[in-house]
Amino acid sequence: MAVNRTPVLKRCRALGLEPAVLGMSKKSSRESIRGNRKISEYGLQLREKQKAKFIYGVLEKQFRNYFVKASNQSGIAGENLLRLLESRLDNVVFRLGYARTRKEARQIVGHKLILVNGKRINIPSYRVKAGDVIEIREKSTDLQRFKNILEVTGTRIVPEWLSADHAGLKGTVTSLPDREQIDVPVNDTLIVEFYSKML
């Protein structure tokens, strides 16, 4: 499987993102120096797409498939796209506070530590639905790893569309998110414009 090995802080600087968006507390002392170069319309659209891909840890082919699926759904394509990305299992584990970053959430899911409605799921891209119950496998709830994670993420605000029970290490998807409930710094309209020229 392809893996993007570019240092995270370097990518954040290049895309103008705060590392906190990814769940990281690190900060770079360097600044991205771009001079007074004006970015073209295409460049702005491309950067928004790259931002969304980087935040959710999705590679190009999968991201494009999400866009095609979002375009075929009723409603606004950009909002549908972000809703699809937010409903990925790895993102939900991150949002509930059971992982410090989405990358760590993907690892936790891949290691078969997550149950969805009582069934073990190890596919990070698995799409959750309203009413789904996500929990840490019972054998793993005593792991020091999750105690350490909750020390860091305990103060993180859980989105309105999720409810979390940190004591039981479980959460429920109460509904799928509206655009206002998705706090990623991405302009989905520019992503739609980018793909409307490409597809």
Please give the Cα distance from 96 to 173 (Å, whole number).
10
Whole-number pLDDT of residue 143:
81
Phi, psi of 143, deg, nearest 5? -60, 135
Band the pLDDT of 142: cuts 50, 70, 90.
Answer: confident
Least confident of 25-34, 106-115, 151-160: 25-34
Strands 133-136 and 170-173, by their bridges, are: antiparallel
Whole-number pLDDT of residue 50:
94
DSSP structure class, residue 176: P
> Could you report the per-residue pLDDT of 114-141, keeping only the tens digit for each?
999 999 999 999 999 999 999 999 888 7
Domain range 1-23+39-86, CATH class = mainly alpha
> Could you report the per-residue pLDDT of 76-95, keeping only the tens digit for each?
999 999 999 999 999 999 99
Whole-number pLDDT of residue 186:
94
Q: Which of 99, 68, 95, 106 is nearest to 177 (CA)?
A: 95
Domain 88-177 indexed as CATH 3.40.50.1360:
no
Domain boundaries, the chain: 1-23+39-86, 88-177
Q: What is the mean pLDDT of the chain?
A: 88
Compute the half-sphere exposure of residue 126: CA atoms within 13 Å on the CB side of its CA: 23
Band the pLDDT of 38: cuts 50, 70, 90.
Answer: confident
Coil, strand or helix: which one is 172? Answer: strand
Handedness of CA 185, 147, 92, 170 (dihedral sign): negative
Whole-number pLDDT of residue 127:
97
Whole-number pLDDT of residue 184:
92
Report the predicted TM-score, pTM, of the whole model to 2 decimal places: 0.87
